[in-house]
Amino acid sequence: MVPSATETCQIQAMNERSQWVLNAPEPPTLWHELVRLLRKSILPDPTNPPSKLVLSFVKGMFPILHWPQSYKAMKFKKDLMADLTLASLCIPQSIGYATLAKLDPQYGLYTSLVPPVIYTVMGTSREIAIGPVAVVSLLLSSMAQKLEDLASDPIAYRKLVLTITFFAGLFQATFGLLRMGFLVDFLSDGAVVGFMGGAAIVIGLQQLKELLGITYFSNKMDVVSVMKATCRSLQHPWNPHNFMIGCSFLSFILIARYLGKRNKKLFWVAAIAPLISVILSTLIVFLMRADKHGAKIVKHIQGGLNPSSLHQLNFSTPYLGEVAKIGVIVAIVSLTEAIAVGRSFANLRGYHLNGNKEMFALGFMNIVGSFTSCYVATGSFSRTAVNFTAGCETAMSNIVMAMTVLLSLELLTRLLYYTPTAILASIILSALPGLINVNEAYKIWKADKLDFLACIGAFIGVMFASVEIGLLVAVAVSFAKVLLISIQPGIETLGRLPGTDIFWDVNQYPMALKTPGVLIIRLKSGLLCYANANFIGERIMKLVTEGDDEDNKRTTYLVLDMSSLMNIDTSGIASLEELQQNLAAKGIELAIASPRWQVIHNLRLTNFVGQLGGKVFVSVAEAMEACLGAQMAATSP
C-alpha cells in the first residue's frame, strides 16, 4: 500500500514531533531547582533599590508600621471591649497552665505579658491571642522533667525551662528567616487532630491530682500510670473539699459555656465565668477558712513585673544537645498550633497569613520571653476564639490584654492567696473539650483511612506512651503515607475515549475502548526508582502474559504512557531495559509516550532511546498511530 500525499505529510509531521521529544533542551537538575528555590525564597527581590528594600524589610518585619495609616479610634474601642473579655479568661488560664508546666503561678502571668506585646508589633494575625497554652505546657513539663528532677531542684528545673524557651524561640525565628514555613505543614491534619485529642485527655487526667487533692501522684503522664496512681491514692483517705469546689465550679463554667454557645450575644458569660469562679471560690475559701480543713490553696504568688532571667539561661549544662532537641520539638508543636489557629481565623476574615513572618515573630517573641522569665508562648485556640467573637479588629487587643495582666501582677496577686488549686484544675478541664475534635476525626475517617491511622496513632501514642512518642508516630505515619502513594507500584490500562484522541484509565471510564493487539499502560507512580522499579516491571510482564489469554489477538505493541512520571533513576532505567528485552523475547515492541523533561533527559543520557529504536512519541495518540501504521504496513503486501 502506497501512502497518499496527505498521509506522508502526516507521518512527516509526526516524526518531527518525535524529534521534539528527543531534542528537548537539558532540564535543570533537582539539585539546581532546590538551590534556585532556596535562593529565591531567602534572598529578597533584586529589582528593588536598596533604600526601598530596607524600608520594606523593616515594614515587613514590623507590620505595626502599616497601622498608622489605617488605625482608627473606632477600632480601638472595639479592641478594648474584646480585650477586657479576653483578660478575664486569660488570667485564670495563665495561672492554671503554669501549674501544668510545673512552674510557679506568676510565670503564667509573666508569659501573658511580654510575648503578646512583642507579637502585636511583629505578627500578621489580627485575632490570635498569645500566651501559655495547655498542650505546650504539658509537652514542656513532660520532657523537661526527664532531664531535671523537679522535686529535688525546682530552681534548676526553672532554668532548664527558660533555656528550652530560648532554644524554641531561636529555632522558630530561624525557620522564619530561612522561609521554612513548610515545616509546620509536615504534620498532617489527622496527626494534629489525634495529637491534640490525646494531649487533652492526658492533661485532663493530670488535673485529677488537684481535683482530688492527692499529694503523691505519678510523675509519668501516660494514662496507665496516672490511673494506677489515682486508684492507689483513692485507697487512702482523701479530702472531699477540693473535689466539691472543683466540680461545682466546673459545672458552672460548662453551663456558662453552653449558654454562650446557644446565644451568641452571651459569649461574654462564657468568657468571664472562669474569672467569676476564681473570685467566688477564693471568697468562699477565705470566709470559711476551708484551707484549714484540707482545701489546697495557691498561697503566695510573687507580685511585680517580669524579673530579668538573662542570668538564668544555662548554656553550660552537659545535656545541651538534649535541651536543643526539646527546643526543636516544642518549637514545631507550638508553631503548628499558632499557625493552625491563625490560619483558620484569617480564613474566616478572608485575609492571608504569611507563615514565614509569623514564625519569625513567634520566635523573636519567645527569645525575648526567655530573657524576661516567660516560658514558651504561642497562639491559644480557646482565647483566640473568644477574642474573635468579642469582635477584636487588630492585634492591639493583645496589648490591652497585656496591660490588664500587668495591673493584676502589680495589684492583685495578694488577693489570689486563698484561691483553691482545684479551681485552676477545673478551668484547665473546661478548656479541654475544645481540643478533642471528634467531628473532624470522623471527617478524616470518611475521607482518608491512612490519615485516620496517623490520627489514631498519635492519639494512642500520646495517651499510652508519651507525648513525644505520639508526635513521632504521627509524623512517621504521615510520611509513610506520602511514601506509599509516591512509590506504589501501580499500573493502569488505558483505552481511547470514544470520539477523542484521549487515552485514559479504562476503570475510571468504562466507555473507553481498547485497541486489539496494543496494550497501553500508564504508571501510577510519580517516580520509577530503586524502590518500585523491579516490582513495576514484574507487574507489566504479568499483565502482558495475562493479556495474551484474554483476547484472541496476540499483543504486538506495548505503549508505556509516562506522563505521570516525574523522575527516573538508574534502577528505573535498568528495569525498563529489562522490560524491553523481555518484551522483545515475546515479539512485542515497546514504545514510550509523553515522557516528561527529566525522564526523557535521563533516558537519552543512558541511550535507552537508542535501544528503543527511537519509538518515543509526544502523546499516546501519536504512538498509537505509529503502531497501527506499522501494523498495517506489515499486514499489507
Residues in 184-203 at the binding interface with a copy of itself, rule: CB under 8 A? 185-189
Query: Using CB under 8 A, which residues numbered 538 to 577 contact a copy of itself?
Result: 563-564, 566-567, 569-571
Q: Which is nearer to a copy of itself, 28 or 307 (CB)?
A: 28
Which amino acid is it at 106? Q
Asked if 535 is part of the footprint of a copy of itself (rule: CB under 8 A), the reply reads yes
Q: Which three cell numbers stand for residue 527?
A: 517516580
User: Which among 123-131, 252-260, 272-280, 445-453 is the span making contact with a copy of itself, rule CB under 8 A?
Assistant: 445-453
Asked if 532 is part of the footprint of a copy of itself (rule: CB under 8 A), the reply reads yes
| Binds a copy of itself (CB under 8 A): choice among 48, 251, 500, 607 | 500
Q: Which is nearer to a copy of itself, 29 or 251 (CB)?
A: 29
Q: Which three cell numbers stand for residue 127?
A: 485575632
Query: Using CB under 8 A, which residues numbered 15 to 34 contact a copy of itself?
Result: 17, 20, 24-25, 27, 29-31, 33-34
Beta bridge partners of 513: 496
Q: Diameter of the chain by CA atoms?
A: 112
Quickly count: other Cβ atoms within 10 Å of residue 190's Cβ: 30
The span from the CA of 519 to the CA of 590, in Å, is 10
Q: Which is nearer to a copy of itself, 505 or 551 (CB)?
A: 505
For residue 592, the SS3 value is strand
Asked if 5 is part of the footprint of a copy of itself (rule: CB under 8 A), the reply reads no
Q: Which is nearer to a copy of itself, 66 or 449 (CB)?
A: 449
Strands 378-380 and 129-131: antiparallel
Q: Cell 516491571 belongs to which residue? A: 537
Asked if 347 is part of the footprint of a copy of itself (rule: CB under 8 A), the reply reads yes
Q: How far is CA 305 from the centre of its chain?
A: 35
The span from the CA of 121 to the CA of 116, in Å, is 9
Query: Using CB under 8 A, which residues numbered 348 to 377 contact a copy of itself?
Result: 350, 352, 355
Asked if 531 is part of the footprint of a copy of itself (rule: CB under 8 A), the reply reads yes
Asked if 482 is part of the footprint of a copy of itself (rule: CB under 8 A), the reply reads yes
User: Which among 92-100, 150-158, 258-266, 523-531 is the span making contact with a copy of itself, rule CB under 8 A?
Assistant: 523-531
User: Which among 164-172, 387-395, 484-492, 547-555 is the span making contact with a copy of itself, rule CB under 8 A?
Assistant: 484-492
Least CB distance from residue 592 to a copy of itself, whole Å? 15
Contacts of 513 (CB under 8 A, 6+ apart): 495, 496, 498
User: Which among 208-216, 456-464, 466-474, 533-541 is the span making contact with a copy of itself, rule CB under 8 A?
Assistant: 533-541
| Binds a copy of itself (CB under 8 A): choice among 246, 420, 489, 547 | 489
Three-state secondary structure of 487-549: CCCCEEEEEECCCCCCEEECCCCCCCECCCCEEEEEECCCEECCCCHHHHHHHHHHHHHHHHH
Q: Which is nearer to a copy of itself, 13 or 632 (CB)?
A: 13
Give, in order, the Cα–Cα distances in Å from 501 to each of 182, 359, 390, 621.
Answer: 39, 49, 58, 6
CA angle 504, 510, 512 (to 5 degrees): 45
End-to-end CA distance of the chain: 7
Q: Which is nearer to a copy of itself, 71 or 509 (CB)?
A: 509
Least CB distance from residue 547 to a copy of itself, whole Å? 16
Least CB distance from residue 567 to a copy of itself, whole Å? 5
Asked if 125 is part of the footprint of a copy of itself (rule: CB under 8 A), the reply reads no
Asked if 442 is part of the footprint of a copy of itself (rule: CB under 8 A), the reply reads no
Query: Using CB under 8 A, which residues numbered 43 to 62 contact a copy of itself?
Result: none
The span from the CA of 383 to the CA of 128, in Å, is 8
Q: At what angle do helices 355-371 and 114-122 cross, to 10 degrees?
A: 150
Least CB distance from residue 587 to a copy of itself, whole Å? 16
Least CB distance from residue 570 to a copy of itself, whole Å? 5
DSSP secondary structure string for all residues of 141-166 = HHHHHHHS-TTT-HHHHHHHHHHHHH
Asked if 505 is part of the footprint of a copy of itself (rule: CB under 8 A), the reply reads yes
Q: Which is nearer to a copy of itself, 67 or 530 (CB)?
A: 530
Q: Which is nearer to a copy of itself, 226 or 620 (CB)?
A: 620
Q: Which is nearer to a copy of itself, 23 or 316 (CB)?
A: 23
The phi-psi region of residue 416 (left if phi > 0; otherwise alpha if psi is between -120 and 50; otherwise beta) is: alpha
User: Which among 118-126, 161-169, 442-450, 545-553 is the span making contact with a copy of itself, rule CB under 8 A?
Assistant: 442-450
| Binds a copy of itself (CB under 8 A): choice among 108, 181, 197, 327 | 181
The span from the CA of 417 to the CA of 428, in Å, is 19
Least CB distance from residue 568 to a copy of itself, whole Å? 10
| Binds a copy of itself (CB under 8 A): choice among 75, 514, 524, 586 | 524
User: Which among 204-212, 253-261, 280-288, 498-506 is the span making contact with a copy of itself, rule CB under 8 A?
Assistant: 498-506
Least CB distance from residue 497 to a copy of itself, whole Å? 6
Nearest to 128 by CA among 115, 110, 109, 141: 115
The size of the interface with a copy of itself (CB under 8 A), counted in residues, is: 83
Quickly count: other Cβ atoms within 10 Å of residue 360's Cβ: 24
Give, in order, the Cα–Cα distances in Å from 481 to each of 183, 187, 257, 448, 488.
Answer: 17, 12, 38, 10, 10
DSSP secondary structure string for all residues of 238-305 = --HHHHHHHHHHHHHHHHHHHHHHHSGGGHHHHHHHHHHHHHHHHHHHHHHTGGGGT--B------SS
Least CB distance from residue 581 to a copy of itself, whole Å? 8
Asked if 476 is part of the footprint of a copy of itself (rule: CB under 8 A), the reply reads no
Asked if 479 is part of the footprint of a copy of itself (rule: CB under 8 A), the reply reads yes
The span from the CA of 233 to the CA of 243, in Å, is 14
| Binds a copy of itself (CB under 8 A): choice among 80, 511, 513, 632 | 511
For residue 28, the SS3 value is coil
Q: Are 111 and 374 in contact (CB under 8 A)?
A: yes
Q: How far is CA 39 from the centre of its chain?
A: 24
| Binds a copy of itself (CB under 8 A): choice among 314, 596, 629, 631 | 596
| Binds a copy of itself (CB under 8 A): choice among 147, 578, 611, 630 | 578
Q: Which is nearer to a copy of itself, 139 or 579 (CB)?
A: 579
Q: Which is nearer to a copy of itself, 8 or 507 (CB)?
A: 507
Asked if 310 is part of the footprint of a copy of itself (rule: CB under 8 A), the reply reads no
Asked if 530 is part of the footprint of a copy of itself (rule: CB under 8 A), the reply reads yes
Q: Which alpha helices (H) appear in 350-395, and where do they start and end?
A: 355-371, 381-389
| Binds a copy of itself (CB under 8 A): choice among 220, 443, 514, 586 | 443
